[in-house]
Amino acid sequence: MSRLDVRKTYKLYIGGAFPRSESGHTYEVLDTQGRFLANAAKASRKDARDAVGAARKAFGGWSSRTPYNRGQILYRVAEMIEGRHDQFTADVVAAEGLTKAQATKVVDAAIDRWVWYAGWADKLAQVTGNANQVAGPFFNLSSPEPTGVVAVVAPADDSLLGLVSVVAPAIVSGNTVVVVTSYDRPLPAITLSEVLATSDLPGGVVNVLTGDATELGPWLAGHLDVNALDLTGVDGAEVAADLEAEAAVNLKRVLRPSSPDWTAEPSLTRMTAFLETKTVWHPVGV
């Protein structure tokens, strides 16, 4: 008799732990052929609030790490993805209906993307900050700082490369993230959570919610402890407009929906969208 495999329970990733949805709800995840893959946790409003709480709690520590340390941790994430290359490839094949060769390329690109962003950690301030020559005897320096808690709606189609391309730029500068994954293709995100949990990334820096972005979006957009909203994966102009309007309640920084070519080398904009410029003045004198 052949051995029966042990299946995985797919759960949320909040504050460094893997809880089920407090609502007890799950939904069926199918492959592109309509075959059953798994029951994923269907995150509720309360899960979203717990995730925001975890992200807020993690923000102080993560944002005050040295950029060198953040860069090392992000690089470590890339190492861990590489180590699970086969698993990610299988996830992407199942989720996106790609061939194994195509999926391999996607996973390669996702790893390279992490490495690219990891290297930015200790260079961003040099590229986006500056000394300002004011007309007076003052030291004056502008430096970038993370905005805070960023809620992200991940791309719906590119379930791994797209996800990596929106999460890494937000956290590399010291933000913490609550990300709502692709609804139909959540499994690569769950595998990524397992990577994040074993990469020295402090719990709460990235919180992963599988579930319905149209249901969770309004709670995140209206949450007063969320500082920024990345609507990249939102489907539908009207939904996006409503979320952007809701985000005005506490003047969240909003990145509007887009569907870029995720294989192309990114610009700085996904990092700078969640940075604040702080300018410090001090008199010069003896």
The distance of Cα 214 from the centroid of its chain, to the nearest Å, equals 18
The interface with another protein within residues 149-208 (CB under 8 A) comprises: none
Answer yes or no whether residue 237 interacts with another protein by CB under 8 A.
Answer: yes
Answer yes or no whether residue 138 interacts with another protein by CB under 8 A.
Answer: yes
275-283 and 138-146: which strand pairing? antiparallel
Answer yes or no whether residue 264 interacts with another protein by CB under 8 A.
Answer: no
Q: For another protein, how many residues bind (rule: CB under 8 A)?
A: 38
Residues 6+ apart with CB under 8 A from 161: 106, 109, 110, 113, 262, 263
Structure tokens, 61: 């520590």
How far, CA to CA in Å, does 237 sit from each of 135, 139, 153, 166, 215?
46, 46, 14, 19, 16
Cβ proximity to another protein: between 187 and 226 the closer is 226
Give the one residue of 128, 184, 212, 235 binding another protein; rule: CB under 8 A. 128
CB of 61 to another protein, least distance (A): 13
Answer yes or no whether residue 33 interacts with another protein by CB under 8 A.
Answer: no
Cβ proximity to another protein: between 119 and 249 the closer is 249
Taking the C-alpha atoms of residue 268 and residue 19, their distance in angstroms, rounded to an integer, is 34
Taking the C-alpha atoms of residue 190 and residue 208, their distance in angstroms, rounded to an integer, is 8
CB of 261 to another protein, least distance (A): 14
Within 13 Å and on the Cβ side, how many CA atoms surround 158?
23
Structure tokens, 163: 């996800």
CB of 158 to another protein, least distance (A): 22
Answer yes or no whether residue 66 interacts with another protein by CB under 8 A.
Answer: no
Give the one residue of 30, 222, 241, 266 binding another protein; rule: CB under 8 A. 241
Q: Which stretch binds another protein (CB under 8 A): 128-136, 160-168, 170-178, 207-215?
A: 128-136
Structure tokens, 39: 């029951």
DSSP 39: E
Residues found near another protein in the complex (CB under 8 A): 64, 128, 130, 132-136, 138, 140, 142, 147-148, 227, 237-238, 240-242, 244-245, 247-251, 253-254, 267, 269, 276-283
